[in-house]
Amino acid sequence: MTDVKTVFGSLNSYQKGGIQIIRDDPKNYVFSNVFEVASKAGPYERVAVGKNFEYVIECVRAEGTSPWFTCDHDEFALVMDGSVEVRLQKLGAAQAAPSGGDGAIVVKGEPGGPKMGRIVCGRGHMALLPKGAAYQFHADKPSVVTIQTVHGPLTIERWAEICETKST
């Protein structure tokens, strides 16, 4: 099928769906759009767009260079739009996130350990952010990343601002 067209959204072009209510409340569906959320967010704010008990999906507007983050569990970054470089480096002494802790923290200072490598991700690419490593994002142009993680100190919740409240 040479004329097939798979539609992906982007910061510059997305079309939200909606909720047609019969007997319900739109708020029950916590409905938002990652491109819309990222378009209104500051660079590297980690805005929750999904939450299930302690677990979250964070939406990030990747623009420029982020702080160094680290986490005591794996996280996974999925690029939904644009191009993002993920830089990985080992931590130095006393830089690790609390053992057993939830979610990412900002690393104090520059990571003190050896460089692990870097990954350049385009749309649709998922990168492992391994437990115990420091990671930094860089995007030359505004891009959108979603992160599979646990609710932590950096998770921002602004549901009333981002979610649909009306029936279409």
Give the footprint of other proteins on residues 2-31 (CB under 8 A).
Answer: 2, 4-9, 14-24, 26-31
Among 46, 146, 152, 155, binds other proteins (CB under 8 A): 146
Question: DSSP state, 24?
Answer: S
Candidate list 64, 109, 122, 153; residue touching other proteins; CB under 8 A: 122
Cα radius of gyration (the chain): 17
d(CA 129, CA 133): 7
Is position 159 an interface residue for other proteins (rule: CB under 8 A)? yes
Cβ of residue 93: shortest distance to other proteins, in angstroms? 19
Q: Are 104 and 152 a contacting pair, CB within 8 Å? A: yes
Residue 93 sits in the site that holds other proteins (CB under 8 A): no
Assess contact for 63 and 78: CB atoms under 8 A.
Answer: no
Find the binding residues for other proteins in span 54-83 (CB under 8 A).
55, 57, 73-76, 78, 80
Phi and psi, residue 45, nearest 5°: -70, 140
Number of residues that bind other proteins (CB under 8 A): 72
According to DSSP, residue 94 is labeled T
Q: Which two tokens stand for residue 52?
A: 């299930």
Question: Is 106 or 116 the residue whose CB approaches other proteins more closely?
Answer: 116
d(CA 166, CA 72): 39
Enter the DSSP assignment of 4. Answer: -
- 7 vs 93, which CB is nearer to other proteins? 7
Site for other proteins contains 143 (CB under 8 A): no
CB of 70 to other proteins, least distance (A): 13
Q: Which of 42, 107, 109, 114 binds other proteins (CB under 8 A)?
A: 114
